[in-house]
Structure 1
Amino acid sequence: MTNKKRIEAHDIVIVGGGPVGLAAAVEFSNLGIKTILLETSDSFSDGSRAICWSQRTLEIMDRSGAATKMLEKGVTWNQGRVYLKHHEIYNFDLQMETDLKMPAFINLQQYYVEEFLESHLRGKKLTDIRRLNEVDDISITENKTALLSVITPNEKYEINAKYVIAADGVNSFLRKRLGLETKGKKFEEKFLITDIHVKEPYPMERRFWFDPIFHKGQSALLHVQPDNILRIDLQLGVNADPKIESNPTRVQSRIQKMLGENIDFDIQWISVYSFSCKRMDRFVHEPVFFVGDAAHVVSPFGARGGNGGIQDIDNLVWKLASVLKGLAPKSLLKSYDLERVPAADENILNSSRSTDFMTPKNEASKEFREAVFLLSKNMPFARKLVNSGRLSSPHSYHNSFLNSKDDPAFIGKGPIPGSASLDAVLGLKSTEVWLLDYLGREFCCLVFVNDSILSSKRFEEFRKFVKTLNPQMNLVMVSRAIISKNMRATVLVDKSGKCFNKWSAIPGSVYLIRPDQHIATRWKNYPELENLEQAFKKALGHCEGK
């Protein structure tokens, strides 16, 4: 008698236990959705791999409750310096605003991020993390579910999944097994990447060199990580031999020239790589959704890889959760492609432009770069053309069918529909608080108010109507002054007026905000209740194409 293969059934299976897969599990757990996470390895990532985590990523992690340990351990940096040979061309500060909760960037090794996310998940108890569980086959059933074949050291079993999140990286097995591919450009240029440990701390800033005296004719990048670890990237050229260039003695010599003879260091990790800028034609192949490097790849310059993947799951998870809970139609899931494919294109474009500037391929490109360098010494406008990697920023879904028409009364000022919400420091009693913390993980109406509005019959009708909407909508109110009326709801105080200015708001302005804190639409003055309801339904995918 033969033993039958065990078959499990689950709503959500995540394949891949890197930062993107783990972050997806965290997002689902916060929305009360159980998941199975399958990971081939039995440990966290080798080497530090991704290290730069953007403000937007930190805001997403913070909303999920997973940012605290990252901030405590990570190296915060806002400043960068760009050099030509040994002369500084310019420096920049990525965070001129002081009223933001999250820094512009932190540097934190990928294995720490994975450790912190997994620890957070274990506290939630809604994710079954299965290490040493390798997917060795996938097929789509007649019912449009995914049948996964999983092999472990002790057994082989199957999972029938309503939805699969493919977070299995640049060499995605799921993508290949389904006969899908990424298309784009492969760059032949080779780079040395190494992490080294130094005894003395370095300034907390990004440094980039064009044609440095320690590495003539090439480029170099230095980032500071926790534990006195430096990440160094050195351009090697097209014809470099990876085996020769990864020799520890050769790497030791190169790094010594860069840091100086008086700096002692130990090499932690070495790799020689080239890269591609590619993506899949589309990321949705129901019931499989591709995220992160499984869906799109870019160069490491600009920190758009890992951060782009986190924004993928931020966009996708609330939509899948809404469909699973019966709160939204399946048509909502189409918006993942329509919103995140353009985001990938934006990242690929910026990544490709950075690479082309670093490694000009023809005489015209070389002459352009030399002219930019020459002008940048005295002309501030030219410094913006010096491209050492355009750093990751949130994509605006301004063309999404989930948005409603913008109110022309804003005359284009403030965050438009599709944009990510803007943070601001506000007051609550005697405490400073942050706006994004109050917008939360549900749909939200952000209303700018004053005493007169709060006392009006129209506002009371508006507030009661918001409470009737399904799924539940959060109501957040911001006033320029402390409200004299005894309110049964929280009113945040914007004494400085900066929040009103950022959002181009007046008393009576209303913003409809999605669970991923992107703006669905806005009104300069109170909308009619039927208009609010229609915009709400549209943001849930009920009015596709309308």
Structure 2
Amino acid sequence: MSSYTYQHYPYRRPPELDGKAARRPVVIVGAGMAGPTLALELAARGVPTVVLDEDDTVSFGSRSICQAKHSLEVWDRFGIAQRMVDKGITWEQGEVYLGDQAVYRFNLQPEPGHKFPAFVNLQQYYVEEFLYERCLAEPAIEMRVLNKVVGVMPHDDHVVVEVETPDGRYTLEAEWLVACDGVRSPVRHMLGLAFEGEVFHDQFLIADIRLLDELPKERRFWFYPPFHPTNSVLLHRQADNVLRVDFQLGHDADAEEEKKTENIDCRLRLMFGPEARWEHEWTSVYTFTCRMMQRFMHGRVVFAGDAAHVVSPFGARGGNGAIADVDNLAWKLALIVTGKAPEALLDSYDSERRAAARENILNSTRSTDFITPKFPASRAFRDAALALARDFPFARALINSGRLSVPTLQPESPLDTPDRDGDWVGGPGPGRAMLDAPVGLKGENGGWLIDRLGRDFNLLTFGQDRVEPPDGVTGIAVGGNGLAWRRYDARPGTTYLIRPDRYVAARWRSPDPAAITAAVERAQGRNTGRSPA
């Protein structure tokens, strides 16, 4: 059985089949998590999109369940993040076990003062449903289900897409095509592009169940538990009283045998005891890879999310990385489509997000190597770290049961203006994500900093009347001297330039209008030379 009801979205005959063809600014392939998020971001900037998907419902199974704070902050711009928080399971605590003994407990967000929690566990089908419904309410977004892309023909100034529907085939012209069509990416295959990386042969069993007893709220990870003594087990609670249990099986396991209900029930009975009761939701046996395209930009075809890079599931970097991709892409693509920035601005999408993918793959691979050591020496190191961790704090830092997703760095981005004035001992520098905090803005009481930001570029000034921003930049004065000041290493007059994707582009102790204007120009790709300090 399933606690979730899969609805089927209505198919509508595309106008191109009746000769009503028009070139579209942006066509998006894929209506998972990334594609609809990109469509909403573009619609907010006045850019209409067509979203094509070969299916007519959301993804089957819970899949990507850990929705990180940074992703929630993106979705909050469209009024759906709180709905996700309310539906999902908020968790910040995690426990690591060796055998049946707790080794240590950790807190993902030890410091208060953020609008959103570090993580919310919510099944991917709910995230897709909320995004899809929001897209249907947006006139600038056309959602086309049962529209399967079967051909892609790039040209110098546009892309032609051939689409198959229940009513026949049609072609659609786009100024830009964005492939958010998943790890198997038909668009990538049609263009014959490589997807290189490392294959991990260890197998894992996912058993999503509705446990009809008391449910744990925190994330738990066991190494060598008595109910599965040769390998590891991971436990997450999800919405609708669903538990995800991941059993490490080893590379020699028979996947078809492991997926049989009676065999899963034997494992669960050992884990939860003879009195436990449950109902099955979804089962899968999986292996995984870490891969990345050499470039995410191929002419006017752009790749994002799993179509461009894929990581192991340990660390919640897949779905959250995809949302970060389209958050980076949307404002740049909108500036280009509306004629406000050169096409070369998209080179920074390629360089910034490839750097982020490398960081995610590195962290994901390290987690995988710790959880599934390949050599006797690495297993001995892992087991020694686990044995010492309960009594010695230094050993806890060596345990890697899936280092969880945080915003990646964007080092040496051509869009950033490096620090050149003042002594900075803290605060997010250029290339780092901004930090949320409770604030008391001039003339107002309280609120969250992320709620005060405009849609595009923002200029934060601490402790005085706001600095007059250039055209198109929102100016915000941060009063008081509280947590926001500490997080931004602020003094009176400290000023930050925040990009639309909420990354810091520049900061100053004592800015002047020329320096601010030059930094904005550089961040929009119109001047990547040295800016005045």
TM-score range, shorter chain: over 0.9
Q: What secondary structure, in the 3-state scheme, does the structure 1 residue paired with 2:236 have?
A: strand
Distance 1:432 1:176 in 2: 51
**Is 2:517 aligned against 1:533?**
yes
User: What's the offset of the Cα at 1:64?
Assistant: 3.2
- Find 1:359's aligned residue among 372, 375, 381: 372
1:489 corresponds to: none
Distance 1:421 1:232 in 2: 34
Residues 140-179 of structure 1, C-alpha deviation per residue, up to 9 Å, x if partnerless?
12x3311100010112111110111100000000001101
**Is 2:322 aligned against 1:337?**
no
1:208 corresponds to: 221
Distance 1:201 1:127 in 2: 43
Q: What TM-score results when the alignment is normalised by the length of structure 2?
A: 0.94
- Find 1:370's aligned residue among 372, 383, 400: 383
**Is 2:94 aligned against 1:109?**
no
2:11 corresponds to: none
**Percent of paired sites with the same residue:** 45
Letter in 1 for 2:70: R
2:448 corresponds to: 434
User: What's the offset of the Cα at 1:102?
Assistant: 0.5
Distance 1:194 1:320 in 2: 40
Residues 18-44 of structure 1, C-alpha deviation per residue, up to 9 Å, x if partnerless?
011111111112212110000111111
2:293 corresponds to: 280
1:517 corresponds to: 502
CA separation of 1:190/1:5 partners in 2, compared to 1, >3 Å: closer, same or farther? farther
User: What's the offset of the Cα at 1:194?
Assistant: 1.7
Residue ranges of structure 2 left out of the alignment (5+ in a row): 1-16
Q: What secondary structure, in the 3-state scheme, does the structure 1 residue paired with 2:114 have?
A: coil
1:159 corresponds to: 172
**Is 2:491 aligned against 1:506?**
yes
User: What's the offset of the Cα at 1:65?
Assistant: 2.6
Residues 109-141 of structure 1, C-alpha deviation per residue, up to 9 Å, x if partnerless?
111111111111122221100000000000112
Q: Is residue 163–residue 288 contact of structure 1 (8 Å, CA) maintained in 2?
A: yes
| Larger mean Cα displacement after TM superposition, 427-436 or 231-240 | 427-436
Structure 1 stretches of 4+ moved >4 Å: 3-7, 428-431
- Find 1:173's aligned residue among 170, 186, 196: 186
Distance 2:486 2:348 in 1: 31
Distance 1:125 1:75 in 2: 32
- Find 2:272's aligned residue among 245, 250, 259: 259
**Is 2:48 aligned against 1:34?**
yes
Residues 486-537 of structure 1, C-alpha deviation per residue, up to 9 Å, x if partnerless?
xxxxxxxx5xx21111101111111111111101010012x22211111110
Distance 2:33 2:399 in 1: 31
Q: Is residue 5–residue 156 contact of structure 1 (8 Å, CA) maintained in 2?
A: no
1:486 corresponds to: none
- Find 2:60's aligned residue among 19, 43, 46: 46
Residue ranges of structure 1 left out of the alignment (5+ in a row): 481-493
2:4 corresponds to: none
Distance 2:75 2:389 in 1: 37
1:485 corresponds to: none
What is the correspondence of 1:207-246 to structure 2 with a 5 Å cutoff?
207-246=220-259
Residues 410-467 of structure 1, C-alpha deviation per residue, up to 9 Å, x if partnerless?
33421100111111112356743000111232101100123xxx4xxxx7xx52xx2x
- Find 1:13's aligned residue among 27, 44, 47: 27
Q: What secondary structure, in the 3-state scheme, does the structure 2 residue paired with 1:176 have?
A: helix
Q: What secondary structure, in the 3-state scheme, does the structure 2 residue paired with 1:378 have?
A: coil
**Is 2:332 aligned against 1:316?**
no
Distance 1:391 1:292 in 2: 17
Residues 285-307 of structure 1, C-alpha deviation per residue, up to 9 Å, x if partnerless?
12111111000111111110000
Distance 2:522 2:214 in 1: 52
Q: Is residue 407–residue 524 contact of structure 1 (8 Å, CA) maintained in 2?
A: no
Q: Is residue 331–residue 544 contact of structure 1 (8 Å, CA) maintained in 2?
A: no
Q: What TM-score results when the alignment is normalised by the length of structure 1?
A: 0.91
Q: What secondary structure, in the 3-state scheme, does the structure 2 residue paired with 1:427 have?
A: coil
Q: What secondary structure, in the 3-state scheme, does the structure 2 residue paired with 1:213 have?
A: coil
| Aligned-residue RMSD, C-alpha | 1.5
**Is 2:111 aligned against 1:97?**
yes
Distance 1:366 1:198 in 2: 33
Q: What secondary structure, in the 3-state scheme, does the structure 1 residue paired with 2:151 have?
A: strand
Distance 2:319 2:389 in 1: 31
Residues 211-251 of structure 1, C-alpha deviation per residue, up to 9 Å, x if partnerless?
11101110100100011100111100011111111111111
Residues 313-366 of structure 1, C-alpha deviation per residue, up to 9 Å, x if partnerless?
000000000111111111111000110001001110111111111111112201
Distance 2:453 2:288 in 1: 38
User: What's the offset of the Cα at 1:374?
Assistant: 2.3
1:292 corresponds to: 305
Distance 1:375 1:474 in 2: 51
Letter in 1 for 2:281: Q
Q: Is residue 170–residue 293 contact of structure 1 (8 Å, CA) maintained in 2?
A: yes
Q: Is residue 211–residue 243 contact of structure 2 (8 Å, CA) maintained in 1?
A: yes
Distance 1:396 1:408 in 2: 22
- Find 2:87's aligned residue among 66, 73, 79: 73
| Larger mean Cα displacement after TM superposition, 114-123 or 160-169 | 114-123
CA separation of 1:424/1:122 partners in 2, compared to 1, >3 Å: closer, same or farther? same
Q: Is residue 278–residue 296 contact of structure 1 (8 Å, CA) maintained in 2?
A: yes
User: What's the offset of the Cα at 1:81?
Assistant: 0.5
2:526 corresponds to: 542
**Is 2:434 aligned against 1:421?**
yes
Letter in 1 for 2:381: F
- Find 2:460's aligned residue among 446, 456, 459: 446
| Larger mean Cα displacement after TM superposition, 441-450 or 58-67 | 58-67
Q: Is residue 522–residue 529 contact of structure 2 (8 Å, CA) maintained in 1?
A: no
Q: Is residue 6–residue 157 contact of structure 1 (8 Å, CA) maintained in 2?
A: no
Q: Is residue 205–residue 247 contact of structure 2 (8 Å, CA) maintained in 1?
A: yes
CA separation of 1:156/1:206 partners in 2, compared to 1, >3 Å: closer, same or farther? same
Distance 1:83 1:528 in 2: 54
User: What's the offset of the Cα at 1:6?
Assistant: 6.5
Distance 1:501 1:86 in 2: 41
